[in-house]
Amino acid sequence: MKSLTFTRCMFWFGILFLYLPMVVLIIYSFNAGRNVQVWAGFSTHWYAEVLRDRQLIAALWRSLRVAFFSATAAMLLGLLASIAIIRMKRFRGRGLLSGMVTAPLVMPDVIIGVSLLMLFVSLQQAIGWPAGRGLNTVFIAHTTFCVAYSTVVISSRLRELDESLEEAAQDLGATPVATFFLVTLPIIWPALLSAWLLSFTLSLDDVVIASFVTGPGATTLPIEVFSSVRLGVSPKINALATMIILAVSLVAFTSWYVTRRIDIRNRRLQVQYLKEAE
Amino acid sequence: MSDTAAAQPSEIRTRQRVKKDAMMSIEQVSKEFDGTYAVDSVSLEIYSGEIFALLGASGSGKSTLLRMLAGFEQPTSGRIRLDGEDLTGMPPYKRPINMMFQSYALFPHMTVEQNLAFGLRQDRLPRHEIKSRVARMLDMVQMSKYARRKPHQLSGGQRQRVALARSLAKQPKMLLLDEPMGALDKKLRTRMQLEVVDILESVGVTCVMVTHDQEEAMTMADRIAIMDEGRIEQIGSPIDVYESPKNRMVAEFIGSVNIIPAHIEADEEDHMVLSAADLPVPIYIGHGVSSGIDDRDMLFAIRPEKTILCTEKPDGEYNWAQGTVSDIAYLGGHSVYHVRLDSGLVVQTVLANTERRTPRPTWEDVVWVSWDSDSGVVLRN
Q: If contacts are CB pairs under 8 Å, which of residues 148-177 in chain A contact chain B?
A: 162, 164-165, 167-176
Contacts of B347 (CB under 8 A, 6+ apart): B258, B260, B304, B307, B321, B323, B338, B339, B341, B369
Q: Are residues A46 and A124 in the same domain?
A: no
Q: Are residues A212 and A275 in the same domain?
A: no
Asked if residue B23 lies in contact with residue B173, where contact means CB atoms within 8 angstroms, the answer is: yes
In a domain, A78, yes or no: yes
Above 80 in pLDDT, residue B2?
no
Above 90 in pLDDT, residue A270?
no
Provide the pLDDT for residue B379: 87
Chain Cα centroid distance, residue B373: 27
The full 3-state SS of chain A, as one line of letters, equals: CHHHHHHHHHHHHHHHHHHHHHHHHHHHHCECCCCCCCCCCECCHHHHHHHHCHHHHHHHHHHHHHHHHHHHHHHHHHHHHHHHHHHCCCCCCHHHHHHHHCHHHCCCHHHHHHHHHHHHHHHHHHHCCCCCCCHHHHHHHHHHHHHHHHHHHHHHHHHHCCHHHHHHHHHCCCCHHHHHHHHHHHHHHHHHHHHHHHHHHHHHHCCHHHHHHCCCCCCCHHHHHHHHHHCCCCHHHHHHHHHHHHHHHHHHHHHHHHHHHHHHHHHHHHHHHHHHHC
Contacts of B147 (CB under 8 A, 6+ apart): B111, B112, B113, B134, B138
In a domain, A214, yes or no: yes
Provide the pLDDT for residue B7: 39
Say how far apart CA B259 and CA B376 lie, in whole Å: 10
Q: If contacts are CB pairs under 8 Å, which of residues 71-90 in chain B contact chain A?
A: 71-72
N-term to C-term CA, chain A:
45
Nearest CA in chain B to A165: B105
Q: Are residues A69 and A191 in the same domain?
A: yes
CB contact under 8 A, A164 and B102: yes
Chain Cα centroid distance, residue B201: 18
More confident residue, B263 or B117: B117
Q: Are residues A192 and A68 in the same domain?
A: yes
* Interface contact A272, partner B, CB < 8 A: no
Say how far apart CA B76 and CA B74 lie, in whole Å: 6
Provide the pLDDT for residue B9: 46
Candidates B107, B134, B176: best to mutate against A (most CBs of A within 10 A) is B107
B16-26 pLDDT, tens digit per residue, is: 555 678 899 99
Sign of CA dihedral A145, A151, A153, A154: positive
Q: Are residues A95 and A225 in the same domain?
A: yes
Give the least confident one: A233-242, B6-15, B341-350: B6-15
Q: What is the mean pLDDT of residues A223-229?
A: 87
Between helices B127-140 and B156-168, what is the axis angle to 10°? Answer: 140
Q: How far is B286 from chain A (nearest CA, A)?
A: 52
Q: Are residues A152 and A162 in the same domain?
A: yes
Q: What is the mean pLDDT of residues B1-26?
A: 57
Say how far apart CA B207 and CA B193 lie, in whole Å: 14
In a domain, A29, yes or no: yes
More confident residue, A226 or B9: A226
To which H or E segment does residue B344 belong?
none
* C-alpha distances in Å from residue A254, one per residue of A248, A258, B160, B203, B326: 10, 6, 38, 51, 70
Q: What's the number of domains chain A is made of?
A: 2
Contacts of A156 (CB under 8 A, 6+ apart): A191
Q: Are residues A255 and A181 in the same domain?
A: no
B107 contacts in A (CB within 8 Å)? 165, 168-169, 183, 187
Q: If contacts are CB pairs under 8 Å, which of residues 173-212 in chain A contact chain B?
A: 173-176, 178, 182-183, 186-187
CATH of the domain at A86: 1.10.3720.10
* Interface contact A56, partner B, CB < 8 A: no
B279-297 pLDDT, tens digit per residue, is: 889 999 887 775 556 677 8
Provide the pLDDT for residue A278: 59
Between strands B272-275 and B231-236, the pairing is: unpaired
Q: Are residues A219 and A102 in the same domain?
A: yes
Of B92, B103, B107, the CB nearest to A171: B92
Above 50 in pLDDT, residue B11?
no
Nearest CA in chain A to B93: A173
B71 contacts in A (CB within 8 Å)? 170-171
HSE toward the beta carbon, residue B307, CA cutoff 13 A: 29
Above 60 in pLDDT, residue B330?
yes
Chain Cα centroid distance, residue B331: 23
Q: Are residues A48 and A25 in the same domain?
A: yes
In a domain, A16, yes or no: no
| Cα–Cα–Cα angle for A223, A110, A210, rounded to 5 degrees | 30
A167 residue type, one letter: E
Provide the pLDDT for residue B1: 36
Say how far apart CA B42 and CA B65 lie, in whole Å: 9
Closest CA to B213 of B180, B191, B236, B240: B180
Candidates B118, B123, B164: best to mutate against A (most CBs of A within 10 A) is B118
Provide the pLDDT for residue B16: 52
Say how far apart CA B224 and CA B235 lie, in whole Å: 6
Q: Tell which phi-psi region holds residue B324, choosing left (phi > 0), alpha (psi between -120 and 50) or beta.
A: beta
Residue A129: pLDDT band by 50, 70, 90 thresholds? confident
Nearest CA in chain A to B117: A172
pTM: 0.83
Provide the pLDDT for residue A29: 87
Provide the pLDDT for residue B298: 86
B155 contacts in A (CB within 8 Å)? 277
**Residue B341 CB: number of other CB atoms within 10 A?**
19
CB contact under 8 A, A162 and B105: yes
* C-alpha distances in Å from residue B200, one per residue of A222, B70, B100, B119, B302: 66, 18, 12, 19, 35
Provide the pLDDT for residue B10: 45
- What whole-number percentage of chain B has pLDDT above 70? 93
Provide the pLDDT for residue A233: 74
Q: A271 is in which domain, residue-wise?
A: 21-52+234-278
Q: Are residues A161 and A242 in the same domain?
A: no
* Interface contact B107, partner A, CB < 8 A: yes
Candidates A162, A166, A170, A172: best to mutate against B (most CBs of B within 10 A) is A172
Say how far apart CA A17 and CA A12 lie, in whole Å: 8
In a domain, A8, yes or no: no
Q: What is the mean pLDDT of residues A235-263?
A: 88
Q: What is the mean pLDDT of residues B207-221?
A: 93
In a domain, A159, yes or no: yes
Above 50 in pLDDT, residue B5?
no
Nearest CA in chain B to A268: B153
Between strands B97-100 and B85-86, the pairing is: unpaired
Of B93, B106, B167, the CB nearest to A170: B93
Exposure b/e, A261-275, CB count within 10 A at least 16 = b: eeeeeeeeeeeeeee
> What domains does chain B contain, in order, with CATH numbers?
3-96+172-252 (3.40.50.300), 256-380 (2.40.50.140)
Q: Which DSSP letter does residue B97 get?
A: E
* C-alpha distances in Å from residue B60, one per residue of A4, A175, B30, B100: 57, 30, 13, 20
In a domain, A2, yes or no: no
Q: Are residues A41 and A130 in the same domain?
A: no
Above 80 in pLDDT, residue B13?
no
Say how far apart CA B33 and CA B67 lie, in whole Å: 14
Domain boundary (A198, A213, A232) is at: A232
Q: Are residues A246 and A195 in the same domain?
A: no
Say how far apart CA A88 and CA A155 lie, in whole Å: 12
Between strands B320-330 and B334-341, the pairing is: antiparallel
Provide the pLDDT for residue B31: 95
In a domain, A205, yes or no: yes
Asked if residue B56 lies in contact with residue B228, where contact means CB atoms within 8 angstroms, the answer is: yes
Q: What is the mean pLDDT of residues B314-342?
A: 90
A13-57 pLDDT, tens digit per residue, is: 999 999 999 998 898 888 888 777 788 888 888 899 888 989 889
Q: What is the mean pLDDT of residues A173-192?
A: 94
Provide the pLDDT for residue B6: 39
Say how far apart CA B45 and CA B189 lie, in whole Å: 28
Provide the pLDDT for residue B221: 94
* C-alpha distances in Å from residue A104, one per residue of A146, A178, A196, A211: 9, 33, 17, 17
